[in-house]
Chains A and B, each alone.
Chain A
Amino acid sequence: GQNIDQPTEMTATEGAIVQINCTYQTSGFNGLFWYQQHAGEAPTFLSYNVLDGLEEKGRFSSFLSRSKGYSYLLLKELQMKDSASYLCAVTPTGGGNKLTFGTGTQLKVEL
């Protein structure tokens, strides 16, 4: 079966750093994605990890440990526009390049 866990909500201060964790248990593993979704909009791609380690892209970084079934998304220098839902998704092995999504973490950035 597939199981992906993320915290439901987080609150952080503008200019600060926040880490959003994701743990997963899936039948096979072929990569982990992070997406950002603003209310009422479609998800947009943030990062992709298939090997262990840290991937950095501007203010956003994503880390993966395959042995622990664990990933985190790190957001630096938070801005008000970063208030959104952050979705962790895993591609299990098998055809179709399917994604299994967690329920998302709603991040609120405050002044």
Chain B
Amino acid sequence: SQTIHQWPATLVQPVGSPLSLECTVEGTSNPNLYWYRQAAGRGLQLLFYSVGIGQISSEVPQNLSASRPQDRQFILSSKKLLLSDSGFYLCAWSGGEAGIYNEQFFGPGTRLTVL
């Protein structure tokens, strides 16, 4: 079976500090990978997606970047956090050899608070 992991679960960071959130997928190969942000009381906003190693597409201009150094690893980063970066960050995967329809499977999320 397939599983998706994210860490850390919660994070409190000062403004101007760097950020690194990690997501890994097990049990499938060559998945599509996604990073979403959900601000309080709002819907999910797609930040980045990747269809393969080293292939990153950015959906909205922002203070964040993403990288995919390995097939099942997706990293979200920032050099200097802003207050507006606070939110619930969700990683998701779809497709690969185990994909069903086009469904996306979500990780447990990281709640980031920037102070």
Contacts and interface: CB of A to CB of B under 8 A. Distances in A.
The answer to whether A and B interact is yes
B102 A30 contact: yes
Q: Would you call the interface of chain A mostly helix, strand, loop, or mixed?
A: loop
Interface residues of B, number: 25
Interface stretch (B11-19, B38-46, B72-80): B38-46
B88 to A, nearest CB: 8
Contact of A103 (B43, B57, B106, B111): B43
B105 A101 contact: no
Interface residues of A, number: 24
Interface of A: 30-31, 33, 40-45, 48, 50, 87, 89, 91, 95-104
A42 B32 CA distance: 18
A42 B106 contact: yes
B55 to A, nearest CB: 10
Given A33-B103, A91-B102, A96 B108 contact: no
Contact of B51 (A48, A91, A96): A96
Nearest to B94: A97
Given A96-B32, A97-B95, A43 B106 contact: yes
A103 B44 CA distance: 7
